[in-house]
């Protein structure tokens, strides 16, 4: 299965299981804080939508805070519970995506 099909398949599975609970990585916490929403690494986010933007940006999610504030972010910026039924597929995507981004930066194709 090629990358575009993998992204499409995972996007469909996530969409069918929305909303999902997730937690932010440090970089996403900083972005929320810059936008005057002081969250922590332990702040639970609700993934309310998902979009496959292809190989350029990967899989994007809309996350929502309890107060209703929404933000788009990359699936790689979220941490999911190991008990989530899509955990292994999402974690696999995240590892491969981060490796791919590093390769693109090394080859100057970013």
Q: What is the DSSP string of 14-72?
A: HHHT-SEEEEE-HHHHHHHHHTT----TT--EEEEEEEE-HHHH-EEEEEE-TTS-EEE
Q: What angle do CA 28, 42, 23 make, to 5 degrees?
A: 50
Domain count, the chain: 1
pLDDT at 9: 97
Confidence of residue 21 (pLDDT cuts 50, 70, 90): very high
Q: pLDDT tens across 41-99, in order?
A: 999 999 999 999 988 889 999 999 999 999 999 999 999 999 999 999 999 999 999 99
The residue segments making up the domain with residue 72 are: 3-107
pTM recorded for the entire structure: 0.90
């Amino acid at each position: 299965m090629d990358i575009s099909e993998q992204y499409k398949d995972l996007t469909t599975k996530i969409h069918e299981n929305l909303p999902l609970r997730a937690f932010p990585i440090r970089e996403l916490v900083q972005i929320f804080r810059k936008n005057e929403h002081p969250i922590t690494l332990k702040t639970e986010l609700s993934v309310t939508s998902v979009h496959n933007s292809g190989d350029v940006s990967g899989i994007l999610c809309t996350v929502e805070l309890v107060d209703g504030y929404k933000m788009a972010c990359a699936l790689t910026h979220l941490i999911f519970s190991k008990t989530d039924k899509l955990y292994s597929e999402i974690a696999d995507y995240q590892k491969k995506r981060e490796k791919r981004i590093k390769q693109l930066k090394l080859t100057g194709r970013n």
